[in-house]
Amino acid sequence: MTISELSLCARDLACERGGRLVYDGLSFSLKGGEALVLTGPNGAGKSSLLRQLAGLLDVTRGEIALEGGDPERTPGEQAHYAGHLDALKPSMSVVETVIFWRRFLGSIPQGAETALEALGLLHLADLPVAYLSAGQRRRLSLARLIAVPRPIWLLDEPTVALDAASVARLLGLMKGHLGQGGMIVAATHLDLGLEGAKTLRLGAEVAA
Amino acid sequence: MMRAFLALLARDLRLAVRLGGGGGMAVFFFLIVISLLPLGIGPDRALLAKVAPGMLWVALLLAALLTLDRLFQADYEDGSLDLLTMGPLPLELVVVAKAVGHWLTTGLPLVVAAPLLGVLLNLPGEAYPPMMAAMLIGTPALSFLGAIGAALTVGIRRGGLLASLLVLPFYIPVLIFGVGAADAAAGGFSGEAGRQSLLLLGAVALASLVLGPLGGAAALRANLR
């Protein structure tokens, strides 16, 4: 599967939450190997935009199109969404969690070790998730990105709770993903240091 | 797709076994309610035998309801439901997997416990086979219809009570035909009446197997977006 000819386009996108127009007339396009960094103040709609791209939130106006992907699957089914909630079950072990994702999201039967290795969690594989620290939980939820290959990564504040070494590790994984022709849309308050990333600033008009 | 379905079902069963709570709690509730009954009504064996099928069914319905509210809520609260909608599995089949998991961990243990509790209520011997058959046919309907209520109230804190209020009216056909099957045998006029009740119960169960996933998935979509 080659994913380098992918392109993700949003045209004239609007989002309304609870009767309030969060943003309107938002457009961008992203090609394989490119990253888009969303910035803006709290409540500017960064998370809403990511959820719309993931197909988890209705699009009020405008459209989202993925060209060159699998035509039988929605853009959301070809994307990973890593949001504020980590979707972890305390009573499952680290490796069971990753195996479940591989089976459920990608129908891949075995082999969770590479993903754990990539996030530095292999030594914790048999530990129940309940005993992980906040940073380890975040790393485990990010292990999904590696465990199941999907061309689009939608990351909502991916560096929260991560230490410097883990941020560097994540950055390495993101660069690797872009190098393989994948796409990343990340909302962040930190400068991730991704060279050549496009930036989209949301919430330009500040409410008085 | 099949693999994703089985993965979700296996995960739910594993979580249910590890966390306890769910099925075990429902069986225990069933036991308590039924053992309270002779204390409340008095040790009149003829009366107990007469009300036994109805009381067993009512207690079973309430016990099944008890575990319903967590069906989707746990996954909603920790973000797992977002992931489940982004998988290759249509949301309808996600609901099927959750409902089957609920039946295996709650409905089936309740059916297994029912004959033991029937002894407590002096249920006539000839009523056991039709009652067990009716419960085996009827309990999947409870899980599948319950999935609609659980999906409708997924975003509501303490939505369990509301889900019960929404779902209980839809359990009425299951109750009527389920009790009918056992009553017919207990009342001596076995044969035609009991068979008809079982057939109608089967029809209700089959309809719920279709309506539950469709309604549950529609309710989840409306709640998530």
pLDDT digits (tens, 9 = 90+) for B154-170: 888 777 788 888 899 99
Question: Which of A79, A89, A107 lies at the smallest CB-CB distance from B88?
Answer: A107
Token pair 């064996």: residue:
B45
Say yes or no for a CB contact (<8 Å) between A107 and B82: no
Taking contacts as CB-CB distances below 8 angstroms, the residues of chain B near A56 are 82, 85-86, 224-225
Q: pTM of the predicted model, to two decimals?
A: 0.89
β partners of residue A63: A11
The pLDDT of B140-150, averaged and rounded, is 94
Predicted confidence (pLDDT) per residue in B84-110, tens digit: 998 888 999 999 999 999 999 999 999
CATH class of A7-201: alpha beta
Cα–Cα–Cα angle for B38, B62, B109, rounded to 5 degrees: 90
Q: What is the pLDDT of residue A204?
A: 57
Above pLDDT 90, what percent of chain B?
Answer: 50
Q: Is A199 helix (H, G, I), strand (E, B) or coil?
A: strand
A139 within 8 A of A165, measured Cβ to Cβ: no
- What are the extents of the domains in chain A? 7-201
Predicted confidence (pLDDT) per residue in B47-83, tens digit: 888 888 899 999 999 998 888 888 898 899 888 999 8
Cα–Cα–Cα angle for A204, A45, B220, rounded to 5 degrees: 160
Q: Is the pLDDT of residue B184 over 80?
A: no
Q: What is the pLDDT of residue A108?
A: 75
Residue of chain B nearest A55, judged by CA positions: B86
Say yes or no for a CB contact (<8 Å) between B78 and A109: no
Phi, psi of A83 (to 5 degrees): -100, -160
Q: What is the pLDDT of residue B190?
A: 56
B20 touches chain A (CB under 8 A): no
Q: Is the pLDDT of residue B178 over 50?
A: yes
Query: Is the C-alpha dihedral spanning B119, B125, B127, B128 positive or negative?
Result: positive
Q: Which residues of A sit within 8 Å Cβ distance of B?
A: 54-58, 73, 76-77, 79-81, 83-89, 91-92, 96, 100-101, 103-105, 107, 109, 144
Phi, psi of A27 (to 5 degrees): -135, 140
Q: What is the pLDDT of residue B21?
A: 63
Question: Model confidence at B24, in pLDDT bands (50, 70, 90)?
Answer: confident
Q: What is the pLDDT of residue B93?
A: 95
Q: What average pLDDT does chain B have?
A: 88
Q: What is the pLDDT of residue B195?
A: 84
The pLDDT of A123-152, averaged and rounded, is 91
Q: Which of A95, A104, A110 to mutate to test the interface with B (most CBs of B within 10 A)?
A: A104
Helices (H), A24-112: 46-53, 94-106
Rounded CA separation A208/B179 (Å): 65
The pLDDT of A83-110, averaged and rounded, is 86
Rounded CA separation A120/B33 (Å): 51
* Tokens found for residue B56: 């067993």
Question: Model confidence at A181, in pLDDT bands (50, 70, 90)?
Answer: confident
Q: What is the pLDDT of residue A208?
A: 34
Q: Report the amino acid identity of residue B42.
A: G
Question: Model confidence at A81, in pLDDT bands (50, 70, 90)?
Answer: very high
Spatial neighbors of A58 by CB under 8 A, at least 6 apart, are: A52, B225
Q: Is the pLDDT of residue A206 over 70?
A: no
Question: Model confidence at B189, in pLDDT bands (50, 70, 90)?
Answer: low
β partners of residue B123: none
Strands (E), B20-160: none
Say yes or no for a CB contact (<8 Å) between B86 and A86: no
Question: Which of A55, A86, A107 lies at the smallest CB-CB distance from B4?
Answer: A107
Q: Is the pLDDT higher at A31 or at B206?
A: B206
Query: Is the C-alpha dihedral spanning A95, A99, A102, A104 positive or negative?
Result: negative
Q: Is the pLDDT of residue A207 over 50?
A: no
Say yes or no for a CB contact (<8 Å) between B18 and A101: no
* Tokens found for residue A83: 């949001």
Q: Which of A107-111, B118-122, B198-202 has the lowest mean pLDDT?
A: A107-111
The most confident of the ranges A52-61, A84-93, B136-145 is B136-145
Question: Model confidence at B145, in pLDDT bands (50, 70, 90)?
Answer: very high
Q: What is the pLDDT of residue B2?
A: 84
Rounded CA separation B163/A173 (Å): 44
Rounded CA separation B130/A38 (Å): 63
Say yes or no for a CB contact (<8 Å) between A81 and B82: yes
Rounded to the nearest angstrom, the minimum Cα separation between B92 and chain A is 15
Rounded to the nearest angstrom, the minimum Cα separation between B190 and chain A is 48
B80 touches chain A (CB under 8 A): yes
**How many cross-chain Cβ pairs, A to B, lie less than 8 Å apart?**
75
B27 within 8 A of B59, measured Cβ to Cβ: no
The most confident of the ranges B37-41, B83-87, B191-195, B207-211 is B207-211
Closest CA to A5 of A79, A94, A69: A69
β partners of residue B160: none
Q: Is the pLDDT of residue B134 over 60?
A: yes
Q: What is the pLDDT of residue B214?
A: 96
Question: Model confidence at B186, in pLDDT bands (50, 70, 90)?
Answer: low
The pLDDT of A65-87, averaged and rounded, is 84
Q: Report the amino acid identity of residue A161.
A: A
Q: What is the pLDDT of residue B42?
A: 86
DSSP letter (8 states) at residue A12 = E
Edge-first strand order for the sheet with A198-201 is A79-82, A152-156, A183-187, A35-39, A198-201
Rounded CA separation A163/A91 (Å): 25
CA A6 to centroid of chain Cα atoms: 17
* Tokens found for residue B101: 């998991």
Q: What is the pLDDT of residue A3?
A: 47
B7 touches chain A (CB under 8 A): yes
Edge-first strand order for the sheet with A61-67 is A20-31, A7-17, A61-67
